[in-house]
């Protein structure tokens, strides 16, 4: 059994939706975007802020990577499976919630799940004692207001809740008004869970995948008009307030020192207008392989364990949270499947200077798009803007991300040596896919990998 870093620390993991690298004040945005973010900025000052934290291409793949420690090309958790069919991850996968449960944690999921939308695949079936939120995504809130919408062809989306051992139930239709209020409700449910479990003296894992800033980016009525800079900025201010409410309840309960508080985003910014976001100095949005898609805000605070007021540009990937948090609580990760995540706890605790990761491969759906290694990035397919049409490259493009953060100058001729280690990394990953074939998207519940 791995040795835990502490005796059953509480974990709060807040995952924003489509929050770009350049939006928050502590990442150069904030007031420049018309929306100060003082609570999240203060969290960054109290913890470790990452400038090279990487994710997958969009909502479903990143959430699968977080929950399984495996790249989504392995799990089949891709955005291409329609609602009502077997979406998300199959029951064979072992989730982060299940790892926490194995160590006696109370577990709650409050927010957007997007890893299964039917019985057997809801959060309450996948390692969480209780769940409140939406099974899929926020743009569905536009359905009932759309001209020609037919509820017989596409049932109205609902806000739902569920408890382990019981069927999930619909609470109310997820329409545009519900879109405005849901993050407030998510936060209140999470606060109630934290209060109850603290009172019972049980360690807890609160997974809070909020819905801001996913389109339609609409603020709660209490925040509408707050900034004078429009709905997007008002929603950012609301998001900051919701994170502040979670930080406040942890402080009020006197459990700050016993709680690992994590804040991040599932992917780069939205590309659709008028909700388009910004990735700061990086180019691109989600659904691309540009740095603006891969790099997202990420902050960790753990008083007495993680050094405060520190910034790191060391490479970390969201799959790394799976083995890292498993070690934090003393859980065993599965040993019968490839786990792509790397345990980063020694790096986080300052016991080693460098990240344990040097690179990773990057797929969009089932297509290898790019790979990062140290300061280098190689694109096999070039599509800097979604829907521009991917260009399959005869000779891959090679960029040095320190010298050229906007990925504008191909160094294939000048620095062709860097292709060698990148190619070896790609080859090793693809060989592992031959040994452990990928789970096909839409696989049924009883599917067992070979």
Catalytic residues: 59, 114
* Residue 420 structure tokens: 């060698």
Backbone phi and psi for residue 176, each to the nearest 5 degrees, phi listed first: -65, -35
Q: What is the CA radius of gyration of the chain?
A: 21
Beta strands in 330-375 (DSSP E): 359-364, 367-373
* Residue 4 structure tokens: 């835990």
3-state secondary structure of 6: coil
* Residue 245 structure tokens: 């409410």
Count, residues in the chain: 450
Conformation bin of residue 309: beta by default, left when phi > 0, alpha when psi is -120 to 50: left
Exposure letters 373-405 (e unless 16+ CB within 10 A, then b): beebbbbbbbbbebeeebeeeeebbbbbbeeeb
Backbone phi and psi for residue 397, each to the nearest 5 degrees, phi listed first: -85, 140
Listed in sequence order, the residues at least 6 apart from 70 whose beta carbon sits closer than 8 Å to its beta carbon are: 64, 93, 319, 322, 337, 338, 339, 340, 341
| Residue whose tokens read 């960029």 | 399
CB atoms within 10 A of CB 313: 11
**Nearest alpha-carbon partner for 101 in 250, 207, 209, 204:** 204
- 53-54 and 316-317 strand pairing: parallel
């Amino acid at each position: 059994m791995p040795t835990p870093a502490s005796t059953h620390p509480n974990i709060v993991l807040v995952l924003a939706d489509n929050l770009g690298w350049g939006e928050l004040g502590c990442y150069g945005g904030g007031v420049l975007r018309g929306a100060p973010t003082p609570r999240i900025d203060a969290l960054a000052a109290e913890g470790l802020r990452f400038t090279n934290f990487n994710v997958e291409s969009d909502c479903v793949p990143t959430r699968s990577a977080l929950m399984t420690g495996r790249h989504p090309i392995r799990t089949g958790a891709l955005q291409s499976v329609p609602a009502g069919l077997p979406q998300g991850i199959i029951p064979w996968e072992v989730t982060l919630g299940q790892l926490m449960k194995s160590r006696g944690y109370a577990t709650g999921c409050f927010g957007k799940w997007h890893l299964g939308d039917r019985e057997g695949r809801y959060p309450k079936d996948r390692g969480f004692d209780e769940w409140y939120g939406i099974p899929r995504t926020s743009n569905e809130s536009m359905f009932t207001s759309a001209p020609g919408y037919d509820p017989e062809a596409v049932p109205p989306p609902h806000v739902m809740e569920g408890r382990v051992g019981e069927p999930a139930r619909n609470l109310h239709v997820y329409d545009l008004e519900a879109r405005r209020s849901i993050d407030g409700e998510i936060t209140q449910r999470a606060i109630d869970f934290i209060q109850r479990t603290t009172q019972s003296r049980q360690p807890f894992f609160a997974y809070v995948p909020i819905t801001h800033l996913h389109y339609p980016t609409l603020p709660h009525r209490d925040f509408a008009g707050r900034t004078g800079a429009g709905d997007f900025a008002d929603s950012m201010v609301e998001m900051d307030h919701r994170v502040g409410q979670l930080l406040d309840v942890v402080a009020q309960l006197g459990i700050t020192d016993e709680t690992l508080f994590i804040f991040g985003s599932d992917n780069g910014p939205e590309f659709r207008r008028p909700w388009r976001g910004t990735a700061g100095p990086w180019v691109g949005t989600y659904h691309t392989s540009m740095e603006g898609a891969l790099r997202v805000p990420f902050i960790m605070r753990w008083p007495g364990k993680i050094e405060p007021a520190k910034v790191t540009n060391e490479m970390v990937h969201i799959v790394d949270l799976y083995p890292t948090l498993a070690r934090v609580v003393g859980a065993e990760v599965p040993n019968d499947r490839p786990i792509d995540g790397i345990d980063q706890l020694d790096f986080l605790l300052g016991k080693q200077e460098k990240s344990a990761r040097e690179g990773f491969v990057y797929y969009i759906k089932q297509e290898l798009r790019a790979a990062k290694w140290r300061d280098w990035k190689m694109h096999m397919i070039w599509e800097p803007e979604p829907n521009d049409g991917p260009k399959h490259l005869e000779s891959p493009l090679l960029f040095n991300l320190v010298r050229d953060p906007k990925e504008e100058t191909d160094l294939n001729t000048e620095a062709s040596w860097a292709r060698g280690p990148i190619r070896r990394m790609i080859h090793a990953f693809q060989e592992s896919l031959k040994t452990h074939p990928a789970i096909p998207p839409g696989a049924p519940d009883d599917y067992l990998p070979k």
